[in-house]
Amino acid sequence: MGRRFSSLSDAEFNRLFRDFKFTAYRLEALQRYDVTYEQNEFSRFLAGESRGEFPGIAEWINGTVSRAVAAGKTVSRVHVVELPMSDYVRFECAWAYEHTVEAGEDVRILPVSRREWPAELPRYDYWLFDSTQLVAMYYEEDGRFSSAEIIDDPRRVVEANYWRDVAQAAAVPYREFARTHQNQLCVPA
């Protein structure tokens, strides 16, 4: 196995997002992520407040997505979303995806019922850069980031490409999903 990262702010991990040449793809499998840079905003969302400033997502939009898109690169993701949506997924859709899509990220949602996970997809997250560099993302049960690992095994890289293709073919663009599930994306009462 390759290099392991214990922090999302690791310089080498973040370099992957600057140095990719063509594509950066993410498969998201969790229904809740517990990351430090979103805690205040998630609490505000649950309290029914309006979005306002969101420094964590602003850095992603301005520092990664916009810069990559301006350079002709593609940043995309598929989030497998269990229905009914968790509060966190509702937050992510309304307060993050809505804005990253506007910046040029191709966000797609693959809605599934809670007991019907797609048989051809894994239940873990990963990043795939330029279809050649695989980074497995590991999280605790409560959604806290544990570590990330560069996977050097060529079979696993090929498998991740297959999963990407399956997920993208089955998913719908974020805005289509948002229109269909608009009543569920509202701020909690």
| Mean per-residue pLDDT of the chain | 93
DSSP label at residue 96 = I
Residues 101 and 109: beta-carbon distance below 8 Å = no
Name the 3-class secondary structure at 59.
Answer: helix
Query: Quick one: pLDDT band at residue 188, thresholds 50, 70, 90?
Result: very low
Please write the tens of the pLDDT for every residue from 9-40: 999 999 999 999 999 999 999 999 998 888 88
Residues 108-128, mean pLDDT to the nearest whole number? 95
How many C-beta atoms lie closer than 10 Å to residue 125's C-beta? Answer: 21
Q: What's the Cα-to-Cα distance from 16 to each of 71, 109, 128, 179, rounded to whole Å?
A: 15, 24, 10, 33
CB burial string 20-46: b at 16+ within 10 A, e below? beebbbbbbbbbbbeeeebeebbebbe
Q: What confidence score (pLDDT) does residue 82 get? A: 96
Q: What confidence score (pLDDT) does residue 1 get? A: 62
Residues 96-121, mean pLDDT to the nearest whole number? 95
Q: What is the CA radius of gyration of the chain?
A: 16
Q: What confidence score (pLDDT) does residue 186 get? A: 61
Rounded Cα–Cα distance for residues 32 and 143 (Å): 5
Query: Quick one: pLDDT band at residue 184, thresholds 50, 70, 90?
Result: confident
Please give the helix or strand (H or E) that residue 148 lies within, else none.
Answer: strand 145-151
pTM score: 0.94
**Could you tell me the domains of the chain?**
4-184 (3.30.870.10)
How many C-beta atoms lie closer than 10 Å to residue 92's C-beta? Answer: 26
Preceding amide of 84 cis, omega within 30: yes
Query: Quick one: pLDDT band at residue 53, thresholds 50, 70, 90?
Result: confident
Rounded Cα–Cα distance for residues 44 and 51 (Å): 8
Rounded Cα–Cα distance for residues 130 and 97 (Å): 22
Q: What confidence score (pLDDT) does residue 189 get? A: 39
Query: Quick one: pLDDT band at residue 115, thresholds 50, 70, 90?
Result: confident
Q: What confidence score (pLDDT) does residue 52 get? A: 78
